[in-house]
Structure 1
Amino acid sequence: MPPFKLSRLTLLILVASLPVELLADDTLTQDTAPSTAGAMDDEQGAQFDPIFLSQTQRGNIDLTRFEHGASVLPGIYKADISINGLLVGNENIQFTEQPDRSVQPCLTRDMLKSIDFNYDKLPASFNDALKSDQTCFPLKALLPQAQSEFDSGLQQLNITVPQLYMNNTARGYVSPALWDKGVPAGILGYSINGNTQRSRGQTSNSAFGGINSGLNVGGWYLRHNGSYNWQENYGGHYESLNTYVQRDIPAIMGRVIVGESNTQGQVFDTLAYRGVELLSEDRMLPSSQRGYAPTVRGIARTNARVTIRQNGRVINEVNVPPGAFEINDLYPTGYGGTLDVTVTEADGSIQNFSVPFASVANLLRPGSHRYNLVAGKLRDNNLSKDYALYQATYQRGMSNLITSYGGLQASQNYYSLQLGSALSTAIGAFSADVSHARTHLNSEPTNRMSGESYQLGYSKFLPETKSSLSIAAYRFSTSGYMDFQTAVRAQDAEANGLSIKNIRRPKSRFNVTVSQGLPDRWGQIYVTGYTQDYWNYGNSDLQYQMGYSNSYKMVTYNLTAGRSRNGVGAMENNVLFSLSVPLGRQDRSNVPQLTASLNRNSNGQSGQQVGVSGSAGEDSRYSYGVTGTNYNQGIGSSMALNGQFRSPVSNMTAGYSTGRNYQSASAGLSGTLLAYQGGLVMTPYSGDTFAIVEAKGAAGAKVGNYSGLRVDRWGHAAVPYLNPYELNEIIIDPKGLPYDVELQSTSQKVAPYAGAVVHLKYNTQQGYPLLITTTLSDGGPVPFGASVFDSKGNNVGTVGQMGQIYARVENERDQLSVKWGQDGAQQCSVSYLMPPQPKGKRMESLMRFASVCQG
């Protein structure tokens, strides 16, 4: 059990609970009390008269070690080590008794080295002691100004060192020594969707399966992401998105990747490659020193399937109910590159649009940098062969105002060089860069095309005016400029005898994303837009969306207007008005929401939707929705039903919709399987960095704040979404556990590597809990603070106030020994016999009884 901790508050409570006759005794007055009783001195500690704790003549408890504040018994305890509030490690710490009877932590040389001391400021005696043969050092003897306090409840040693002797560390700093590579483990994240639809007498079935799998061995993490698409009458096709091995290199705050992956897109646009990449990892920096996948919004008319592609590859596919949808949980695939979105309605109709993806003002803190080196081949299914890809980029914060960056891309008969800077000003962050590219082409008179591309960017974030991320970027390219992907497509067309005139060469491009809160509860507006025209193509790409949202009392409403160019070059406009209101008090859980919307586009198509959605059950693990829709132009009325259940092992979804001349049904399953040496763990959540919680006997205990996440019958749970290189606190809620199971600790902190599967073991103590009210044979109470041992010599409890013993025992029948000193007169024993306990049943109550402690 945790070491016993006696606080001064406890002693005051004890005094307040003593009989009035004793409180009236002259021994408690200031004039007659011993000079040391109740005295508090920072140097000598507090001294207490043992008469307050013992009303018998059998002897008093030795309290000298408690005179120096809360203390523990000498021994070794596993605990967290905190320095000035910053966690630096978790170690087995030896506590030794000092000549003054105080018990102090004794730190090893390695523990001291984990503390970020400024050795130039430490006294010479400190450094001399570390050079000696001594293996254990009482910190107080090395550095008298340091203070230490052991919190036995949290199992944490809190050390305070004057800042003079410490190096300055950034807020959020976690020492790389605390980063956890995790245990060998296999990961299989899955997302499976099946759809069937019948329209005008024709039935078609389709299915989609996406996997995010991996294998962790030591510091090497293998990852494979892929998707399988199947359509009736066409068959199935599996596409590999990424397959690579990665390993972190903390010494350079970076990572090496070998295999198939995507470039970061911080200077050049994101490209899919097969090869080797060495890149920096910003998340290894403290959270206070870190310098974006976008949100995909759209409107679905029925139960629809939304497919998101980047560079022609499917990176996500989900089923959405009718109405406005928002997808904000994309896996990052770089910092630049347009996302192509396809919405397939239940009746078979399709709408397409694009989402610009760029972060333009790459400002860094002074002295910090990012780097990226790639050597490999371009992955593009539209090319007849693989083309070499060599890329190097570098960004560095030159001062508080300026960040400079540049990069080089090269391949067969192609190179591109870019230089630029970002500037921080009071009115926002600006960036400007210029790129020069040369492409060797046989069809050109000079056998080459060369040109420049100029880009201006602007970004501003104003939390005081409720502004969100605001980005505006404009790029102009001369007629001879080609970016990497355009150049290799032109070369590939030549190699296959095709004209390069069909390869579109961008001329200018503009994209903007602005979100602005309005004052005085006037709501919020946002604008997103993208346009691009070409040197050798008449029509331009165009898409923009404007929105306004606000709320009045419990009603939330939104107005969205969008304009885009469709696949045949015609312009389309779309307007949507929607509102939402809770059907009940907002301070209650699982309150349903009523939604209604009006939608109209430039083709004269208009419609109305009304729906109710909500959640139910413990932890809101069930969710549901029903929507009714009516559209003109012969579409007619339709109805859609949706449901979701987040079980402890998987997340299940289902949907059904019916309308004029069509019916559609879908079902989905998602989650993650984790395999490690302790077994197989299933979770309804997806992710890449997990913690496996092991708490034997704690089945049913809730873990963290995730819906449906509980310890399974085998004592396991998988916690998702850990923040890499940061301290994540994993808490087990013991509420609802049977009385015969006790968690030794309910909270642990861990800082995993990105992609790691860490193993956190929560020790449990199983046994019968007893509350025994006991007295000595002469009727007096057993002394407070006495230790209780079972017949095997295990310390199973402590005597509390009024002779009450709380103990957790292994046997249904035993004899307990109570000791408050070494003398035979300072010991007694108490026997207990429990009623027979049903096998296989949880103990739902505390066993209470009274007994005499025989001396």
Structure 2
Amino acid sequence: MGLSPVGKVARLQSLGLCISLALGTPLAMAQTADNIQFNTDVLDVNDQNNIDLSQFSRGGYIMPGTYGMTVHVNKNKLPEQQILFYAPEDDPKGSRACVSKALVEQLGLKEDVMKGLTWRHQGECLDEGSVHGMEVRGDLSTSSLYMRIPQAYLEYSDESWDPPSRWEEGIPGLLLDYNVNANSQYQQRDSSKGYSVSGNGTAGANLGSWRLRADWQANFSHQTAGEQQTRKQLEWSRYYAYRAFPSLRSKLMLGENELDSGMFDNFRFTGASLVSDDNMLPPNLRGYAPEVVGVAKTNAKIVISQLGRVLYETTVAAGPFHIQDINDAVTGELNVRVEEQDGSVQEFVLNTASIPYLTRPGSVRFKLTAGRPSNWQHHAQGPLFGTGEFSWGVSNGWSLYGGALAGGDYNALSLGIGRDLLMFGALSFDATQSRASLSQEDGTLSGGSYRLSYSKRFDEYDSQVTFAGYRFSDRNFMSMGEYLDARYYGNRMNGSGKQQYTITFNQQFREWGLSSYINYSHETYWDLPANDRYSLTLSRYFDIGRFRNLSLSLSAYRNNYNGIKDDGAYLSLSMPWGDKATVSFSEAVSRNDTTHAVSYYDRLDDRRSYQLSTGSSRSGVRASGFYNHEGGLAQMSANASYQEGSYSAAGLSLQGGMTLTPEGGAVHRSGTAGGTRLLIDTQGVADVPVRGYGSTTNTNAWGKAVLGDVSSYYRNRANIDLNQLGDTAEATQSVVEVTLTEGAIGYRKFDVIAGAKAMAVIRLADGSEPPFGATVTNVRKQETGIVNDGGNVYLTGINAGESMTVHWSGSAQCEVRMPTPLPADMLMNTLLLPCRALSAQPQATEGSVLTAKEQKG
């Protein structure tokens, strides 16, 4: 009696079990260094003479040839490579993996180890014996080459970071990233209407190791009231190109940029710079990324800019916001603008602090820049200048740093020292002296600026002073930006800084379940009112009776900017509601209003969430809504709000990008504008769910998807979400890893077999069947099944009219063609597939379906 499809699957699976047992010697009649002889009597096979187990007959043996394999070095994974297996001269019947010179460059061997390597096989393959303790093993079942190398011979690496020898420059391509925000408002008091559309982003191209970029920003607004009802603006804020120099741990940039300096103030220039890039260092040695904290009174747009160039723009729901994904390469002062839907605006300045200037012992970090200052019209305006900075790790505890800026009538010199105080933190002090020659009336001004910085994490108290700093500048001290303003615009003392305090502090009180965050900055000027910014966040989780995981949080700020005072606070009590939802009660206090509200937040899945809020204020009832969706093509958020007797407003935000390469392209969500990304290729298989560190995105009709949540110089992982993979696709490889340089477009292929699955019976031209253990592959050389006894095989990747090839005795023997059309219910039917010689021309419709009687026969 014939087997059911389930029974035939079970029998097919027994093939792998029998072979596995046979390899363990209890079922092996004899085992030598060259081969293994199987006792085939234990196999339930009708024809004992029609068996081909040649591919399993040698333990660890791989037939000479070239194979695509993923390379594993200890616990780290390298990209798939073409690995040659050859028969060595001292063992003609054996095989050895060829570790090529190109592959050796990716292993991360130390320089002294590289010098001692020897080679074999006409000098093309590494002699593993020249690296004492190195082991190399190939595994066809996982398509992997495993290498074990003593850690003492390898450069530094950790679980998320690879040495420079494994960094990839990616493939050439074009990209366009955008961030667009649209808003409309209706003011009930004067019946005026208005709408605006603003955006910013980056266009660019990658050529080898070079990244060509152009940043843009645009704004369009229309108001029914006011003198200037319509405003339009579109400008390319800067043009630039850059590339990484891993050997110097630095980045070369050409074109328009802002001065990247740890000692001198920022200004815009056109020229070239070569700067040590902390992002190339291991994660525990990298610097500080700026954070922006505040409270939005309504659904609001946050715009963060520097020297007029928009760096970051987003919309947030009413309440506290904490922005942490600003590029950590940003230095200097940031202008933060919070545009509320009720028409009010908050503005303040954030000083992007850095940890004390310390460098690893024996290491040198440097920054070299040359060019001319330039304006927004891309015209040079100012003298030729050059600047150089260095930081030298003198010993375990001391660092020496300094720099100079020379620009004709403006010159500055800086010198500092840093000290690691071990249990007491880290401290640095530096002094900068400037000399500026102005007009005959003003003469030459000379002054000094002095800075003290401190950082410490108190592990025993669960607290951290991220940064604390003090700076004092003489009245006649001038930065390059101030000199240019005085020289070309006559603003000699417009905003000249005097003193500056900055502190950021975190504290955890674990026994109370309380965490706190404090940020304080204070700036005084010689000729303007002082600016102050206080920000405090407190949060506590607790239980009351049967109510669990309640959260009480307080966010408050005080802002005094350009003579305008603004205070605000936000108090919220929230509790879980069901599996994913949260209900909260809040009170917001601002300069002009007090609001009480109840809110409902729900996360529908890992892509979508929304928040609804209603309450009352001094002027009446108010309501708002906020919806966020992380789609595969873009990240979208929508919001709406209403205030009785005041206004109604709605907004829409889109953030995404487009990437095109010779390997294909896709429209996608984006991370950092113009930043690093990874192109995923499922070899033409559409709708495959893939993900990096964010939510899942599906491949397009051409089998391509781009992941924008990729970090430069980190080991990034991408995988196929097997839980969402449909029944008509099967992934033989579901995880890839890659480490990319900044701005690179990485490229990885996933081995995906697309098509239906079904039991089949293969028959040769003379009515016999292929031998037990024969393999079936599709046109992409992917293995789709192994033949059991009686020609039975469980096939995957079945598509109407496609051909598959049957292999035994080490070569392709015949070809089967799938029927057209395929049966409606594949799993409940068994296909009969005639296997024609490769030279024969098959008919258009070759395969058929066995009847129930034929299956029983």
Superposition TM-score tier, normalisation by shorter sequence? 0.7 to 0.9
Instruction: Report the secondary structure of 1:278's partner residue.
Output: strand
Which residue does 2:623 correspond to in 1? 639
The equivalent residue for 1:581 is 575
Matches of 1:549 and 1:813 in 2, distance apart? 61
Q: Judge which range, 99-108 or 392-401, deviates more.
A: 99-108
Partner of 2:85: 95
Q: Distance in 2 between matches of 1:344 and 1:167?
A: 52
Q: Root-mean-square deviation (CA), in Å?
A: 4.2
Give, in whole Å, the separation in 1 of the partners of 2:168 and 2:40: 47
Residue from 574, 599, 622 that aligns with 2:588: 599
Is contact 1:739-1:846 (8 Å) kept?
Answer: no
Shift of 1:682: 0.5
Instruction: Work out which of the residue numbers 99, 107, 114 in structure 1 matches 2:99.
Output: 107
Q: Which residue of the other structure, out of 428, 444, 449, is the alignment partner of 1:431?
A: 428
- Name which structure has the greater RCO, CA cutoff 8 Å, separation 6+: 2
Instruction: Specify which of 194, 198, 206 is matched with residue 196 of structure 2.
Output: 206
Deviations 1:781-809 (A, max 9, x none): 99763445899999753235998523456
Alpha carbons 1:50, 1:63 under 8 Å: kept: no
Q: Which amino acid aligns with 1:557?
A: L
2:314 to 283, 302, 318: 318
Q: How does 1:350-429 map to 2 (within 5 A)?
A: 350-379=345-374, 386-388=381-383, 389-425=385-421, 426-429=423-426
Which of 237, 245, 265 is residue 249 of structure 1 equivalent to?
Answer: 245
Match of 1:623 among 603, 609, 616: 609
CA pair 265-93 structure 1, distance change in 2 beyond 3 A: same
Q: Distance in 1 between matches of 2:570 and 2:377?
A: 37
Partner AA of 1:698 in structure 2: V
2:517 alignment partner, one of 511, 517, 526: 526
Q: What amino acid maps onto 1:611 in structure 2?
A: S
C-alpha distance in 2 between matches for 1:108 and 1:394: 39
Partner SS, residue 503 of structure 1: coil
Pair 606,810 (structure 1): closer, same or farther in 2 beyond 3 Å: closer
Note the alpha carbon deviations across 1:622-648, whole angstroms, 9 max, x for none. 32222224222xx33221122233333
Bigger mean CA deviation after superposition, 142-151 or 512-521? 142-151
Distance 1:752 1:604, change over 3 A: closer
In 2: Cα distance, 1:239 partner to 1:815 partner:
56
Deviation of the 1:343 alpha carbon: 2.1
Aligned to 1:797: 785
Calculate the TM-score normalised by the size of structure 2. 0.82
| Rounded Cα–Cα distance in structure 2 between residues aligned with 1:725 and 1:658 | 46
Q: Is the CA contact 2:399–2:418 (under 8 Å) kept in the aligned structure 1?
A: yes
Distance 1:101 1:767, change over 3 A: farther
Report how far residue 434 of structure 1 moved: 0.9
- Taking the TM superposition and a 5 Å limit, the aligned residue runs for 1:77-476 are 77-87=67-77, 90-97=80-87, 99=91, 101-112=93-104, 114-115=106-107, 127=118, 129-130=119-120, 133-136=122-125, 139=127, 145-162=133-150, 166-171=153-158, 174-199=162-187, 200=189, 201-232=191-222, 233-287=229-283, 289-290=285-286, 292-332=288-328, 334-335=330-331, 337-379=332-374, 386-388=381-383, 389-425=385-421, 426-442=423-439, 447-463=443-459, 465-468=461-464, 470-476=466-472
Do the aligned residues in 2 keep the contact of 1:701 with 1:734 (CA within 8 Å)?
no
Q: 1:94 to 1:12 in 2, by over 3 A?
A: closer
Instruction: Return closer, same or farther for 1:117/1:846 CA change in 2, 3 Å cut-off.
Output: farther
Amino acid at match of 1:600: V
Question: Does 1:673 pair with 2:658?
Answer: yes
User: In structure 2, what is the equivalent of residue 5 of structure 1?
Assistant: none
Query: Residues of 1 paired with 2:78 and 2:746: CA distance?
Result: 18
Partner of 1:698: 685
Q: Aligned in 2, Cα 1:791/1:67: closer, same or farther, shift over 3 Å?
A: closer
Which amino acid in structure 2 is aligned with residue 598 of structure 1?
E
Of 383-392 and 683-692, more deviation after overlay is shown by: 383-392
- The alignment partner of 1:407 has SS state of strand
The TM-score with structure 1 as length reference comes to: 0.82
User: Structure 2 counterpart of 1:345, which letter?
Assistant: E
**Preserved CA contact (<8 Å) 1:88 1:174:** no
Segment of structure 1 superposing worse, 54-63 or 726-735: 54-63
For residues 741-820 of structure 1, the aligned pairs below 5 Å read 741-766=729-754, 769-772=757-760, 785-787=773-775, 797-799=785-787, 805-808=793-796
Higher mean displacement: 739-748 or 704-713:
739-748
Secondary structure of the corresponding residue to residue 206 of structure 2: strand
Residue 554 of structure 1: SS of its match in structure 2? strand
1:74-127 deviation digits (Å, cap 9, x = unpaired): 321012333333445643112235648544313334444654557977999x73
Is the alpha carbon distance of 1:507 and 1:15 closer, same or farther for their aligned partners in structure 2, counting shifts above 3 Å? closer
Contact 2:389 2:402 in 1 (8 A): yes
Q: How far did 1:424 drift?
A: 1.0
Which of residues 486, 503, 528 is equivalent to 1:512? 503
Pick closer, same or farther for the CA change 1:846–1:821 going to 2, 3 Å.
Answer: farther
Is the alpha carbon distance of 1:844 and 1:368 closer, same or farther for their aligned partners in structure 2, counting shifts above 3 Å?
farther
- After superposition, the Cα gap between the structure-2 partners of 1:394 and 1:792, relative to the gap in structure 1 and judged at 3 Å, is closer
Q: Percent identity?
A: 25
Among 711, 714, 738, the alignment partner of 2:702 is: 714
Structure 2 CA distance for partners of 1:787 and 1:286, relative to 1, 3 Å: same
Q: Helix, strand or coil: the match of 1:620?
A: coil
Find the counterpart in structure 2 of residue 477 from structure 1: 473
Which blocks of at least 5 consecutive residues in structure 2 are unaligned? 1-12, 223-228, 543-547, 833-849
Partners of 2:105 and 2:676 in 1: CA distance: 29
Q: Tell me how far apart the structure 1 counterparts of residues 641 and 132 of structure 2 sit (CA, whole Å).
A: 74
Please give the per-residue CA displacement for 1:606-636, whole angstroms capped at 9, x wherever unaligned.
22222222232xx53332222224222xx33
User: Is the CA contact (8 Å cut-off) linking 1:185 and 1:676 kept in structure 2?
Assistant: yes
Q: Quote the Cα distance in structure 2 between the aligned partners of 1:490 and 1:140.
A: 67
Residues 294 and 322, structure 2, Cα contact 8 Å, conserved in 1 = yes
Alignment pair present for 1:562 and 2:557: yes
Which residue, out of 5, 11, 18, partners 1:14?
Answer: 18
Could you tell me how far 1:370 is from its partner in structure 2?
Answer: 2.1
Larger mean Cα displacement after TM superposition, 185-194 or 686-695: 686-695
Label 1:523 to 1:219 Cα distance change in 2 as closer, same or farther (>3 A): same
User: Gaps spanning 5+ residues in structure 1: where?
Assistant: 1-8, 19-27, 586-590
